[in-house]
Amino acid sequence: MKHLINTKALAVVVLSALGVLFCYLFLTYRLADDDVISVSHEFHLVAPDHLQYQQPSILRGRTDVVTVTPWLAPVVWEGTFNPVLLDSIYKEKNITVSATVFAVGKYIMFLKDFLETAEQHFFVGFKVHIYVFTDRPNEVPQFKMAAGRQLTVRSVPSSKRWQEISARRMELIQTLIEQLPHRSDDYVFCLDVDSKFHGRWGTESLGGLVAVIHPGYYKDGRRSFPYERRPASRAYMAPGWGDFYYCGGAFGGLLQEVHQLAKTCRSNFEADAQERIEAAWQEESHLNRYMWINKPSKVLSPEYLWQDFKPKNPEVHIIRFSGVMKNYAEIRPNA
Ligand code: UD2
């Protein structure tokens, strides 16, 4: 009996040693080949051989703004990235970038400019799929898109309350992502239609979970952010909480990350509604609560969502995307 146990123990030791040896040989074989066994595509950045670009400095860079969050996510400002390098890296990955945009009721009037300027500035040279959600599919402007870019129109019901239109976007984004083919390195951005692109919005904005700093509050203290302040709401933020105030008008990331965000915000919004609570800024409040707990892995500066009525501040070197001026009383079903 004792002899049997010793033989068994010996077999376990020998098999374990063989296992370790096999792993070691396999790893060294693959790594010697300049390869990596298995990494998430999002973090595996392969630059093409012999690419020429300006030498990056480790001593000089933007000093007038913060370019990294306390949880070490990059904050993207003009001057912090090399577009040639980034585009070359992401070309290798053959990514598709989707965008969702809602044009319900009179907001259809903003769609033409949105789409035309997206064609000029949003992920130019990449595969782009724009999903337009509207109750007026016949009024979607027709125009020729560049090769690799396409547009899909989805019909949605109209509503008598703008708050509902804005908030229901999370549900529709969740459902859309569930219907898309799930490739691990595809991205989606969810954007407000009453906006135009004015400058490059490209690969520098890609990340797992991407939030945009709201242009209206980036100089303010967290106590004055317009978070939902009623503890009864699932979007509640206490006075000492909050990193930044993020926009509801632009956010994105990898499909699976945005799906999780949309699903959570939708279910919290609906649970609130059951108790007759509507957060101060609808889905924007729920998004801010979500990002407080689930920190974005990339933060886009207010260059990525400015407002036309605001003069450009000195730290904003380029406006890439900006909300147009609008007359709420004229365009909302309930102003
Ligand atoms: C802010 C946010 C917006 C949303 C809202 C709170 C920014 C720049 N904007 O904008 O994203 O979080 O607060 O709910 O951060 N829409 C229609 N038809 C309508 C009403 C709205 O299609 O009748 C869609 C449209 O895509 C629009 C979006 O919902 O861009 C947001 O509505 P908004 O622009 O009227 O909201 P606003 O300006 O208060």
Residue 165, ligand 1, Cβ within 6 A: yes
3 Cβ partners below 8 Å, 6+ apart? none
Measuring CA to CA, which residue among 308, 101, 294 is closest to residue 207? Answer: 294
Assess whether 171 carries a catalytic annotation: no
Please tell me the pTM assigned to this model.
Answer: 0.88
Lowest-pLDDT range, 46-50, 111-115, 325-329? 325-329
Mean predicted confidence (pLDDT) in 128-140: 97
**203 pLDDT above the threshold of 50:** yes
**22 pLDDT above the threshold of 70:** no
pLDDT on residue 37? 43
Mean predicted confidence (pLDDT) in 311-317: 96
pLDDT tens digits, 86-117 = 999 999 898 999 999 999 999 999 999 999 99
Residue 323, ligand 1, Cβ within 6 A: yes
Give the DSSP H/E element, type plus range, for residue 299: strand 298-300
Contact between 279 and 228 (Cβ < 8 Å):
yes
* Ligand 1 midpoint to CA 103 (Å): 10
**321 pLDDT above the threshold of 80:** yes
Candidate of 133, 192, 303 to mutate for ligand 1, largest count of ligand atoms within 8 Å of Cβ: 192
Q: Given the CA of residue 108, which atom of ligand 1 is nearest to it? A: 22
pLDDT tens digits, 30-41 = 444 344 444 455
Mean predicted confidence (pLDDT) in 50-73: 96
